[in-house]
Amino acid sequence: MRREVKYMHKVTAKGRVYWYAWRGGPRLHGEEGSPAFWASYNAAIAERLLPDASKFRSLVTEYRASSDYRKLSASTKDGWLPWLDRIAEYFGDLSIAQFNRPEKIRPLILRWRNRFADRPRTADYGLQVMSRVLSHAVNLGKIAGNPCEGFKHLYSVDRSDRIWTDNDIATLKRTCSAEISWAVDLAAHTGLRRGDLLRLSWSHVGDDAIVIATSKSKHQREAIVPLYDALKTVLADIPQRSPIILTNSKLRPWTVDGFSTVFNKAKRAAGMADADLHFHDLRGTAATRFYVAGLSERVIAEIMGWSEAQVATIIRRYVDRSAATKAVIRQLNARGDGTGK
């Protein structure tokens, strides 16, 4: 039997349909329209009308209704909703007071996380959602501290020595749009992170350098990228059609999700879907170009926020020996330590 319910929310993800009692509410179980389906809906509404404020499940419900949750992108919400359901199901009947006893609750959280240990990235993702709910509870004054803090991630990878080579970039640019080509060139010559790159404006470009407060430092630290000749050429090739340097085909600033979608499509169209290269890896490419342009490893490390050892590894692996030698000679001459001209 089908009933029309005003607030019920439908989500379609990867070809599957999920129903929620309301937007941001708990997911409904059972086949659509079945007795089990309506039973889960009625239970959700009853809990919403008369929640047990002492149970952890109420924290998940409050987080779903919060402004912090509403500010998340649609794709993030789609990824988080199943995890919020899992968290509510596993921890929901525990009292909130138990989360004020870290020596007791931390092992329980770890046991839950380790249920997904065979998929480290998945396990870390679930823990991230759990931590966000607990941080919200801290902000509400429901618990004193976040018991998820201090857990080490199961998945870790250092991609600082992974770069796009000139051949990789050329392959992508043979089929990609001009907008993606400009973004790739600018990333490969500035080393800026994607978020900073997409909000980079022409006003950030000075006479001698690009200067922008970085998002990762919460705008407390500035990235200063010298305007070397190759970077000047890249900027000159990008038309100034907006205050923001990089725009989409509609001449509007990119959103992060929109850019990622178009960039990944461009990779697939270029036959690079299986290539282990991320947009972020263009930062390593920039490091090699900084070096060939004459910047020292110390200066490159400061720009990239890396250690000098990481920079040195990239230089040894990817910079042609003759180009590296010429770069060293230029640096020595600039300091007055060399004898060449």
Same domain, 21 and 61: no
The whole-number average pLDDT for the span 11-19 is 84
How sure is the predictor about 139, in pLDDT bands with cuts at 50, 70 and 90? very high
The residue from 129, 156, 183 where one domain ends is 156
- Please indicate, yes or no, whether residues 198 and 325 belong to a single structural domain of this protein: yes
Q: Which residue type occupies 196?
A: D
Same domain, 176 and 238: yes
**How many domains is the chain built from?**
3
Report whether pLDDT(45) > 80. Answer: no
Q: How confident is the model at residue 101 (pLDDT cuts 50, 70, 90)?
A: very high
- Say if 340 falls within a structural domain: no
For residue range 186-196, list pLDDT tens digits in order: 999 999 999 99
- Mark whether 10 and 57 lie in a shared domain: no
> 231 in a domain, yes or no?
yes
244 and 177 assigned to the same domain: yes
Do 140 and 78 have their domain in common? yes
Same domain flag for 180 and 324: yes
Question: CB within 8 A of 249, min separation 6: which ones?
Answer: 177, 179
Task: Mark whether 128 and 227 lie in a shared domain.
Answer: no
Same domain flag for 301 and 197:
yes
Are 252 and 214 contained in the same domain?
yes
Q: Of 114, 130, 156, which marks where a domain is finished?
A: 156
- The reported pLDDT for the residue numbered 234 is 97
pTM of the model: 0.55
Domain co-membership, 203 together with 324? yes
Range of the domain at 34: 1-50
- The CATH number of residue 116's host domain is 1.10.150
**What one-character-per-residue DSSP string does 50-119 give?**
S--TTBHHHHHHHHHTSHHHHTS-HHHHHHHHHHHHHHHHHHTTSBGGGGG-HHHHHHHHHHHHGGGTTS
Contacts of 237 (CB under 8 A, 6+ apart): 182, 185
- Inform me whether the pLDDT recorded for 340 exceeds 70: no
Statement to judge: residues 194 and 320 lie in one domain: yes
Q: How far is CA 287 from the centre of its chain?
A: 21
Greater confidence, 233 or 327?
Answer: 233
- Tell me what percent of the residues of the chain surpass a pLDDT of 70: 87
Residue 341 has pLDDT above 50, yes or no: no
In a domain, 315, yes or no: yes
Res 4 pLDDT > 80: no
Tell me if 143 is assigned to some domain: yes
More confident residue, 264 or 331: 264
Q: How far apart are CA 57 and CA 28, in angstroms?
A: 15
